[in-house]
Amino acid sequence: MLFPNRFPDLLSPDPQMALALTSAQALTATTFPTLGVHQKCPISVAAVQNPTSTSPTFAYAGFRDTEMYFSGSLLKMAAMIAAFELRQSAADFAVTEGDCGDSTVFGDLKTAFNTDIQAAAPRFQSEPGITEPMRVPKYPTVFASPQGLASGGCLMSFDATFATNLRGMVVPSNNQQASATIQALGYSWINGLLAKAGLFDPTGQQGIWLGGTFTGAFPAVRVPSVNDGPSAQATTTIDMARFLALLIEGTTLDGRSTDGIVADMRGLLSDAQANGDPSFLTVGARPGVNGLGAGFTITHCKIGLGNLTAGGDVASEATVLSHDDSGQQFLVVWQNLANLNDRHNAMSFMVRRTLLTFLGIP
């Protein structure tokens, strides 16, 4: 199967979390009265319920969470999802191949996949300057030479250079490596996948959208955003939170194949927090920012930072973290924060107060 079935929405609106978020916003307005972070910044927060179950649930609340905002490098998450889903689709296909030669397998993937890939994101077929090679995957660039399996068929794995670029895109958030990754995957695969998975609505133009390469290597294809006009890298917080919930739950993303992808994506986001661009909420990640403070551990993160057309940097992030004493796990996504220390301190305060209030901690 080329595309996964539409992913379930694992987020469940929760009155307790909604009350905690509203209370934290009010306290942030009082503590940081001139900054407006509580009003200007979309945010999604969820607590993981029954985390040891095969079907965890997510107690959710959000603010301005369905609005589209330019979020810069946060949208490299879209290319990460697309890369691993393509590997899974290619592995499912190649298990029935009788000849594992490069030309055979890559030619068969092109024949079997490319028409449907382009049909899944029809807008890119009529965009000026967007050619077919910009729309579809470059299979010999994405994949190493297929290897024969003892049980029959072929093993598909990432080409070493592609894997290096993929990691560089996520962990240090390198724009050149992001561009190479996006060019190899193609616009139609990335955005067709997001649409088929239920993470982007083409009719409403809402959800996770990646129509740029971060270097201008391909022409940009844009959707409306609240904070930056037409944008090539935009998302809602709720759709990015839906993806984080799927990544925490794990079973859905790994369910259609034995070629599991969850551990690899979690690993990249863990490495980004530990060794790359850590959360803006992390103490010491940015001089002058206090961060969440004691009692929480951030385990996975991807930040976004980009320049608005009107000027000024805007920050965003998608984060998984845990409360140290209780072990309660949370996911948090926020965006449209002016990249200034006082704003980061206000956001850190608001997130901390939301989580502690949900936990019943003064």
Q: What is the pLDDT of residues 325-334, one digit of tens each?
A: 999 999 999 9
Give the mean model confidence (pLDDT) for residues 190-197: 98
- The secondary structure of the chain in percent helix, strand, coil, rounded to multiples of 5, reads 45, 20, 40
The neighbouring-strand residues paired with 106 are none
- The answer to whether residues 87 and 157 touch, using CB atoms and an 8 Å cutoff, is yes
CA 323, CA 20: separation in Å to the nearest integer?
A: 15
| C-alpha angle 220-63-293 in degrees, rounded to nearest 5 | 95
- The answer to whether residues 105 and 89 touch, using CB atoms and an 8 Å cutoff, is no
Please name which of 119, 260, 264, 125 lies closest in space to residue 195, comparing C-alpha atoms. Answer: 119
Q: What are phi and psi of 342, to 5 degrees?
A: -65, -35
Q: What is the pLDDT of residues 252-266, one digit of tens each?
A: 999 887 678 999 999
pTM, rounded to two decimals? 0.97
pLDDT score recorded for residue 252: 94
Question: Residue 169 is which amino acid?
Answer: M
C-alpha of 94 from chain center: 27
- The answer to whether residues 106 and 159 touch, using CB atoms and an 8 Å cutoff, is no
Q: How many alpha carbons lie under 13 Å from residue 308 in its C-beta half-sphere?
A: 19
Q: What is the pLDDT of residues 156-189, one digit of tens each?
A: 999 999 999 999 999 999 999 999 999 999 999 9
- The answer to whether residues 117 and 85 touch, using CB atoms and an 8 Å cutoff, is no
Residues 6+ apart with CB under 8 A from 92: 1, 256, 257, 259
β 200-201/43-49 pair status: unpaired
Percent of the chain with pLDDT over 70: 100
- The answer to whether residues 358 and 47 touch, using CB atoms and an 8 Å cutoff, is yes
Using 50, 70 and 90 to split pLDDT, how confident is the model at 98?
very high
- The answer to whether residues 211 and 190 touch, using CB atoms and an 8 Å cutoff, is no
- CB-based burial, 317-338: b 16+ in 10 Å, e otherwise: bbbbbbbeeeebbbbbbbbbbb
pLDDT at 271 over 90: yes
| C-alpha angle 138-143-149 in degrees, rounded to nearest 5 | 140
pLDDT at 53 over 80: no
C-alpha of 177 from chain center: 16
Q: What is the pLDDT of residues 128-163, one digit of tens each?
A: 999 999 999 999 999 999 999 998 999 999 999 999
- Compute how many other C-beta atoms are within 10 angstroms of the C-beta atom of residue 50: 10
Helices (H), 174-331: 175-185, 187-196, 237-249, 251-254, 262-275
E strands in 282-328: 296-307, 313-323
